[in-house]
Structure 1
Amino acid sequence: MKYADVNGKLADYRRQISDIREKMRETLATVEPEKVNDYAFATFDGSVRLSELFGDHEDLIVIHNMGAACSYCTLWADGYNGIHQHVVSRAGFVVTSPDRPGVQKKFAESRGWKFPIVSHEGSSFAADMGYVSHSGGWLPGVSVFRRDGEAITRVSDTGFSPGDDFCSLWHFFDMLPGGVGDWPRVAKKPSCCSSH
């Protein structure tokens, strides 16, 4: 197929994706929020409750991260780091993982991460939110919460997996002949990240 023909076809697919995203936003606006508990998390500086993570916002984005052992979760966090300042101008934001706070702090410092991290170790948070697999392993993803007075509700969530919309690297690789190619092998693809 000629270059111009392929470009036209790809542009049409991108318009379709944009239309689907609009339908997803419209559908999300109809959701009946799910009430959740005010979970406690551990940080390097002590305990913190879910309600405290909102800061001055009524919305909170919580990333379900599998921890330092997952290179895909690290890849996602490395890519997110640069936009953190923009995200927190609109909503609260935190990454949660099963790692202990000391491990989280050391790993975040080694990567230059600027966003807050809390540990859900010992709590039912990940399981209650659906981010523990049937075999008991952790699953990656994102949940969005809303605070209205004392009440906290979850208004949306989705899992993360290689090729998803939440890691920009996949979209750049999509533009290359051969897509991802042998990158997963070169990057020592882990078995930790299955689709949600």
Structure 2
Amino acid sequence: MQAHKIVSREEWTAARKALMAREKELTQAREALSRARRELPWVKVDKDYVFDGPNGKLTLGDLFRGRPQLVVQHVMFAPEWDAACKSCSFWADGYERMVPHLAARDTTMVAISRAPLAKLEAFKARMGWTFDWVSSGSNDFNYDYGVSFTREQMEKGEARYNFGTTPPYGDELPGISVFYRDETGSVFHTYSTFARGLDMMNAAYHYLDLTPLGRHEEGLPYPMDWVRLRDQYQPSQVQASCCHS
């Protein structure tokens, strides 16, 4: 870590206030961007998708649970895998307890993966998660919303991730899609984001961004190389010495 300049409290406060001015500019720009996001045109979903859930078959409309808004977390979990992607699980740990708060604002959140329901349920139990998680293994949902690609698409270079702006690094990739259901029951696709667009939904990363070391991922084979499933970290990595005798 680079040595930092040590100053008086007064000098530090002045520097902090200067940075605060830049932070406020970013906040205002983010609010303007959020308004523009809400003003995007919509696409009506005419295709019938049927998912496998713990209590049986569910349509896309069913996933709303009677609310007008639906946020879908595309969790990477291919049918042949035995566990979900560790990075997607990193995000899942963050939104696990968010569901009731979203519901209070007329929004339902659900995770969707191609793995069979039995694998989703087993991994969900292992991680202690409670959010809704359904399987899209019997439909084209993941392919239609740009997070899964066929072998043929990959071999021919036809896979288009992040609207064709990011080269796909695998046939299962992360994303978030948002839908709206009106009073007639019609469903509309309103938004999707992928790759670094998911970054703002990871609270742990943003806490790290407040610290002197930041995410300190420099020099790793890839940025998230350090991430593990929550139950795979070594005890020394998760126990704070101030809290244990």
User: TM-score normalized by structure 1?
Assistant: 0.85
The 5 A counterparts of 1:72-151 are: 72-90=87-105, 91-132=107-148, 134=159, 137-148=171-182, 149-151=184-186
CA distance in 2 between partners of 1:56 and 1:162 (Å): 28
Determine if the alignment matches structure 1 residue 50 to structure 2 residue 60: yes
CA distance in 2 between partners of 1:75 and 1:29 (Å): 27
Report the secondary structure of 1:113's partner residue: coil
Report the secondary structure of 1:164's partner residue: helix
Runs of 4+ in 1 over 6 A off after TM superposition: none
Q: Which amino acid aligns with 1:120?
A: S
| Gap change, CA 1:163 and 1:156, over 3 Å in 2 | closer
Q: Which amino acid aligns with 1:180?
A: R
Q: For 2:37, which of 15, 28, 31 is the aligned residue?
A: 28
CA distance in 2 between partners of 1:58 and 1:11 (Å): 37
CA distance in 2 between partners of 1:71 and 1:123 (Å): 24
CA drift at 1:22: 1.6
In structure 2, the residue matched to 1:166 is 201
CA distance in 1 between partners of 2:143 and 2:20 (Å): 40
Determine if the alignment matches structure 1 residue 187 to structure 2 residue 234: no
**Between Structure 1 and Structure 2, how many residues are aligned?**
189
Q: Percent identity?
A: 28
Query: Alpha-carbon deviations, 1:126-146, whole Å to 9, x = none?
Result: 121122362561221211111
CA drift at 1:26: 2.1
Report the secondary structure of 1:79's partner residue: helix
CA drift at 1:167: 0.6
The 8 Å contact of residues 94 and 117 in structure 1, kept in 2 or not, is answered as yes
Q: Choose 150-159 or 100-109, whichever is displaced more.
A: 150-159
CA distance in 2 between partners of 1:47 and 1:6 (Å): 57
In structure 1, the residue matched to 2:153 is none
Which gives a bigger RCO, structure 1 or 2 (Cα 8 Å, sep 6+)? 1
CA distance in 1 between partners of 2:71 and 2:84 (Å): 22
In structure 2, the residue matched to 1:66 is 76
Larger radius of gyration: 2
CA drift at 1:162: 9.0
Unaligned runs of at least 5 residues, structure 2: 6-10, 78-82, 150-158, 160-167, 218-222, 230-245
The 8 Å contact of residues 87 and 227 in structure 2, kept in 1 or not, is answered as no
| Gap change, CA 1:130 and 1:9, over 3 Å in 2 | farther
Query: Alpha-carbon deviations, 1:112-158, whole Å to 9, x = none?
Result: 11110011113211121122362561221211111121311011121
Q: For 2:12, which of 3, 6, 30 is the aligned residue?
A: 3
Q: Which amino acid aligns with 1:59?
A: Q
The 5 A counterparts of 1:8-19 are: 8-19=17-28
Report the secondary structure of 2:200's partner residue: coil
User: TM-score normalized by structure 2?
Assistant: 0.69
